Amino acid sequence: MKITNSKSIFAEANKYIPGGVNSPVRAFKAVGGEPLFIERAEGSRLYDIDGNTFIDMINSWGPMILGHANKMVEASVTTALKNSPSFGAPTEVEVQMAELIVNMVPSVEKVRMVNSGTEATMSAIRLARGFTKKDKIIKFEGCYHGHGDSFLIAAGSGAVTMGSPDSPGVTRGTANDTLIAGFNDLNSVEVLFQHNPREIAAVIVEPVAGNMGCVSPDPGFLEGLKELCHANEALLIFDEVMTGFRLAPGGAQELFSVTPDLTTLGKIIGGGFPVGAYGGRKEIMDTISPTGPVYQAGTLSGNPIAMSAGYAQLKYLKEHPEIYQELDDTTADICSGIQKNLEKLNLDFKINRVGSMFTLFFNNEEVRNFTDAKNSDMEAFGRYFNLMLERGVYLAPSQYEALFISTAIDKSDVDHIIDSNFKSLSKMYN
């Protein structure tokens, strides 16, 4: 594997961009080495500027569910681009996208388009506070909802301890309004409600965690959250930026048959372009300006290029629900092959999978929450990442990230992934 050009460009990037990257995980700090600079992608393949080719198992962190450079999506973008990339005014495709989302996602009666997942979650929290007239929120340790101030909070020494800022620049006042619970721990949520009566506006959760690695909800966990929220007159918010339209046509809420009050969306609805959305019950959504007092706006919200790309992809997924079984089968084959490799090598590492999301944890114990995930062998993961990269498989450069499979990954790709996994683990442990 050659890295000549990437190395020189990364050195140049460090002169002008903090850390040389525009999103921290791209710096490869968690796995050692330096990032590769990508030149193009097609189908299941990434091509870097050094001439290397990789099977992509990140797929732009989820949105490229149909693979890279999909012709249908590209055609929709080309047509829209001819009319101008932005108007700052309403377009018909925004309405078509909204109607499609409302028809597909169980919780959504009305939806507002924004420009990123972070913007969607920030807006949903503001809306929840405005609707309930309460200030505090509950989030879960290890769940990531973007870089909004309310979400960059670490727990104190106990479940009811006030939060403290986890990132410089986050005020203590903001931290005090964010309470931390344990994922898959309903008791920790109940305790927070007990200690903060009539103060909690919402509970926000990734219904399937993707930012501590892939961690599924225990049976009854999501149902229990809904019961606790409604018993305490708080809203339940599902952050489906990752899981929306990936795990099922209606997202994780369809898969697990639990309907939240609000839902945040992103990734797939942009077809690879920057986009986000939040939606929910009509009575809640009508609290947003201009129909209500909760203000939120954006010049590029509902951008016609992003809407055209996302609408083409989303419409295709709705019309071809069999794709979800195909994705599930492909991901199951990969995970089954990796599991057999682990058994051959007498390794007891854990694989968590939900649909076309999965993580191989370098951990001998089950991973049900962030505490479990943090017990993984990070150094071993870093070695594994680089060995897989040498064999042409591009993984997320962090143990704390899920992998996302696309329909472009075929049988030969699956075989190569499994073979590369065996050779990489063999080199590490034999």
pLDDT exceeds cutoff 80 at 62: yes
Question: Is 427 a residue of the active site?
Answer: no
Q: What percent of the chain has pLDDT over 90?
A: 89
C-alpha to C-alpha distance for 420 and 390, rounded to whole angstroms: 9
Question: Is 144 a residue of the active site?
Answer: yes
* Beta strand 178-181 pairing with 164-165: unpaired
**Residue 176: its pLDDT value, please?**
83
Question: Is 410 a residue of the active site?
Answer: no
pLDDT tens by residue, 346-355? 999 999 999 9
CATH architecture of the domain with range 4-57+322-429:
Alpha-Beta Complex (3.90)
Domain boundaries, the chain: 4-57+322-429, 71-319
Q: What average pLDDT does this structure show over 303-318?
A: 96
Q: What average pLDDT does this structure show over 300-324?
A: 96
Q: Residue 160: which pLDDT band, with cuts at 50, 70 and 90?
A: very low
If 0-12 CB within 10 Å is exposed, 13-18 middle and 19+ buried, where does residue 392 land? Answer: middle
Q: What average pLDDT does this structure show over 81-99?
A: 95
Q: Residue 163: which pLDDT band, with cuts at 50, 70 and 90?
A: very low
pLDDT exceeds cutoff 50 at 155: no
pLDDT exceeds cutoff 90 at 171: no
pLDDT exceeds cutoff 90 at 165: no
Q: What is the mean pLDDT of the chain?
A: 94
pLDDT tens by residue, 202-255? 999 999 999 999 999 999 999 999 999 999 999 999 999 999 999 999 999 999
Q: What average pLDDT does this structure show over 393-414?
A: 97
pLDDT exceeds cutoff 80 at 411: yes
In this structure, are residues 174 and 162 in contact, taking their beta carbons and an 8 Å threshold? no
Smallest CA-to-CA distance from 160 within 181, 142, 145, 146 is with: 181
Q: Residue 150: which pLDDT band, with cuts at 50, 70 and 90?
A: confident
Least confident span in 27-36, 37-46, 95-104, 256-265: 27-36
**Residue 2: its pLDDT value, please?**
67
Task: Please tell me which residue in 56, 149, 177, 239 is annotated as part of the active site.
Answer: 239
Task: Please tell me which residue in 110, 144, 324, 372 is annotated as part of the active site.
Answer: 144
Task: Please tell me which residue in 110, 134, 139, 267 is annotated as part of the active site.
Answer: 267
71-319 CATH, one of 2.60.120.200, 3.40.640.10, 3.30.70.1230, 3.40.50.1100: 3.40.640.10
